[in-house]
Chain A
Amino acid sequence: MHELSLTQNIVELAVQYANRNNAVAIRSITVEIGALSGVVADAVAFAFDVCSKGTMAEGARLDIRRIAGVGRCLRCLRESQLEALTHVCPLCGSLALETMQGQEMKFTEMEVD
């Protein structure tokens, strides 16, 4: 359940940036969560209501963009979609797969008044 700590960070960052930008209200918050990051997006959405209560982020819409996992094999040089973290290339079986995308957990933008 480290989603709770991550969600606390989301709220803390949102309030910080809102204050820094002289915002009076936060309408929406957008985060990116990679399919290989080990973070459960539903758990973040669930924790957000609790963590934002009593802060400027309360009532804001949380948009979670899921980033697909993509690997690139250093042997056969092909890219493949990944559902799980692995170094085995699903196309040629070598142990030389590099993760290109999918480990993100990023606060990307927010809409404020």
Chain B
Amino acid sequence: MCIDCGCNSHPGSAHQHDQHGHHHDGGTSRTIRIEEDLLAKNNRLAASNRARFRAVKILALNLVSSPGSGKTSLLERTLSDLAGRITFAVLEGDLQTTNDADRIAATGVPVKQLNTGAGCHLDAHMVGHGVEAFDLEATDILMIENVGNLVCPAAFDLGEDHKIVVLSVTEGEDKPLKYPQMFQAADLVLINKIDLLPYLQFNLEQCKEFTRQVNPLVEIIELSCHSGEGLATWYDWLSREFIRKRA
């Protein structure tokens, strides 16, 4: 039995709470005031995840993007380049397959695949159970690769320290205006695949301008995990946030 969520089961399975019928007297209708956020349960579980991560001083990052932005490739490169300096664990969210987890496992980093089935996002419940696979005491940074989707994951707090949006230059510079909830929820935007810029119509400055229109304070790093350009800035960001969490 899970203490946090009261479930008897594994992530993704159906819950049956409070579904027993009651039979009482009465028949007059009455109004009950409630005022509860629809995400209250997820937010409570996220707060519990956050407390667990804080207790062991893990930096938890939630990577979100549309499908095919290069999240997994960026992770592979990051894990390999920082091996021996920072200890990672990775949660991989996808509807189906263990393809991404297999790619991460090849780098030697502990990884757990979370398959959501038809679900469009990871939630705090899945992450809370997912990290049971790791030795959290021995982990510095937890990378959570969310389901490729720029809409739904914006609403679901997982207990992370930062949401990071990965946007690739093959997608079009107006993505931040089309999916403002996601870009507003992010603390960092990584503009990926910049090695392809000479072959595209992508207007990088316009993209940054659009990003700031929905999130004036967000940090933006341009990089390519293919050419390696910009990676040093990304690694500096990771080190800075990791040290801040340890302090």
Interface residues of A (CB under 8 A from B): 1-2, 5-6, 9-10, 12-13, 15-19, 21-24, 27, 31, 36-39, 55-56, 84-88, 95-96, 105-113
Report Cα–Cα, A1/B118, bound state, in Å: 10
The size bracket of the interface on B is: 35 or more
Interface stretch, picked from B73-81, B96-104, B213-221, is B213-221
Kindly state whether residue B47 has any CB partner on chain A within 8 Å: no
Asked if B22 and A23 sit within 8 Å, CB to CB, the answer is: yes
27 A-B pairs with CB atoms under 8 Å apart are A2-B120, A2-B151, A2-B155, A6-B38, A10-B38, A12-B17, A13-B34, A13-B36, A15-B19, A17-B32, A19-B20, A22-B24, A23-B24, A27-B29, A31-B38, A39-B155, A85-B184, A86-B180, A87-B213, A87-B215, A105-B37, A107-B34, A110-B32, A111-B29, A111-B31, A112-B30, A113-B29
CB distance from B41 to the nearest CB of A (A): 6
Asked if B123 and A38 sit within 8 Å, CB to CB, the answer is: no
Residues from chain A with Cβ under 8 Å of B42 in the complex: 9
Considering the complex of A and B, which 6 residue pairs feature the smallest CB-CB distances, nearest first? Answer: A2-B152, A85-B180, A38-B181, A105-B38, A16-B18, A95-B216
Chain B: CB-nearest residue to A27: B29
Report Cα–Cα, A16/B42, bound state, in Å: 16
Encode contact with A along B170-196: 1 for CB under 8 Å, 0 otherwise.
000000010011001000000000000
CB distance from A66 to the nearest CB of B (A): 14
Report Cα–Cα, A38/B214, bound state, in Å: 14
Report Cα–Cα, A25/B214, bound state, in Å: 44
Report Cα–Cα, A87/B31, bound state, in Å: 38
Asked if B34 and A17 sit within 8 Å, CB to CB, the answer is: yes
Kindly state whether residue B6 has any CB partner on chain A within 8 Å: no
Contacts A27-B29, A31-B38, A105-B39 given; does A16 touch B17 at CB 8 Å: yes
Residues from chain B with Cβ under 8 Å of A27 in the complex: 29
Residues from chain B with Cβ under 8 Å of A86 in the complex: 180, 213-214
CB distance from B150 to the nearest CB of A (A): 10
Report Cα–Cα, A106/B23, bound state, in Å: 28
Kindly state whether residue B198 has any CB partner on chain A within 8 Å: no
